């Protein structure tokens, strides 16, 4: 691997390639041309070739891509061949939804702990993982090699808890709290702001209404 800078736009598309290739594999497809992959994914064939060339390219002119090889290689680029220990902070509906999502485990994300401040949840388990109280968090994170934390707590607490996590060695935050976290540059933050997603939907619905009303 070279130190070449891969644009976030490419990285944004890789998981989608991975998903499509996984579906092809499930359907027993062994080889696919960039044209066919392009039609399936509604991305241009040249876009696909360009994207994959960032990683050295995986196709052979005229032969198309070996689906299994490409799937495996993209998995490696995405780090899915390694395991990552993850904790979830906040055992509300969203935290429970994430905890119950078994597919994460298949991609190498191992749920090690769930934390909450609500004492009535103490000792309950989700998929055999016990819910612990926040006081235990610092020691737990240090002792269990926790790399990633999912934050599904209200925004008022999110900044403080994120700092606590980072101070204890967490290096990536999957942030569902509706606020930006101001963390050191070497900490990776992936935001999922659901209300912003809903606003984009709202914008597009209204824009559609507007143009249709005019016609």
Whether the CB-CB separation of 48 and 37 falls below 8 Å is answered with yes
Cβ closer to a second copy: 12 or 62? 12
Number of other CB atoms surrounding residue 171 within 10 Å: 16
Cβ closer to a second copy: 81 or 136? 81
- CA 72, 73, 77: angle at the middle one, nearest 5? 120
Query: Which position among 28, 200, 213, 215 is part of the footprint of a second copy (CB under 8 A)?
Result: 200
Is 92 labelled a binding residue?
Answer: yes
Is 93 labelled a binding residue?
Answer: yes
Nearest to 167 by CA among 138, 189, 204: 138
Distance from C-alpha of 135 to C-alpha of 51, rounded to nearest angstrom: 45
Nearest to 88 by CA among 128, 131, 56: 131
Is residue 211 at the binding interface for a second copy, with CB under 8 A as the rule?
A: yes
Angstrom CA distances, 71 to 117, 141, 182, stand at 41, 32, 35
Cβ closer to a second copy: 16 or 122? 16
Is residue 71 at the binding interface for a second copy, with CB under 8 A as the rule?
A: no
Tell me the window of 12-20, 61-69, 115-123, 135-143 that interacts with a second copy (CB under 8 A).
Answer: 12-20
Is residue 80 at the binding interface for a second copy, with CB under 8 A as the rule?
A: yes
| Residue 110 CA neighbour count, 13 Å, CB half | 10
Query: Which position among 33, 47, 72, 107 is part of the footprint of a second copy (CB under 8 A)?
Result: 107
Which stretches of the chain bind a second copy, using CB under 8 A? Answer: 1, 3, 11-12, 14-16, 18-19, 42, 77-80, 82, 84, 92-94, 96-98, 100-101, 103-104, 107-109, 147-148, 171-172, 174, 178, 180, 186, 188, 190, 192-206, 208, 210-211
Which residues line the annotated binding site for NAD(+)? 90-95
């Amino acid at each position: 691997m070279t130190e070449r800078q891969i644009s976030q736009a490419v990285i944004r598309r890789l998981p989608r390639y991975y998903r499509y290739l996984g579906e092809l594999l499930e359907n027993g497809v062994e080889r696919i041309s960039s044209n066919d992959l392009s039609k399936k994914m509604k991305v241009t064939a040249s876009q696909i070739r360009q994207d994959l060339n960032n990683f050295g390219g995986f196709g052979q002119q005229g032969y198309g891509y070996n689906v299994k090889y490409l799937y495996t290689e993209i998995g490696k680029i995405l780090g899915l061949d390694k395991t990552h220990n993850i904790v979830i902070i906040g055992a509300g509906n969203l935290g429970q939804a994430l905890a119950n999502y078994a597919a994460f485990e298949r991609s190498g994300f191992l749920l090690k702990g769930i934390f909450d401040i609500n004492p009535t949840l103490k000792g309950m388990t989700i998929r055999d993982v016990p819910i612990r109280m926040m006081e235990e968090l610092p020691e737990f994170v240090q002792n269990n090699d926790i790399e990633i934390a999912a934050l599904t707590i209200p925004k008022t607490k999110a900044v403080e808890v994120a700092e606590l996590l980072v101070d204890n060695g967490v290096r990536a935050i999957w942030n569902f709290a509706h606020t930006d976290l101001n963390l050191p540059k070497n900490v990776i933050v992936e935001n999922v702001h659901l209300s912003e997603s809903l606003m984009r939907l709202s914008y597009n619905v209204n824009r559609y209404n507007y143009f249709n009303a005019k016609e």
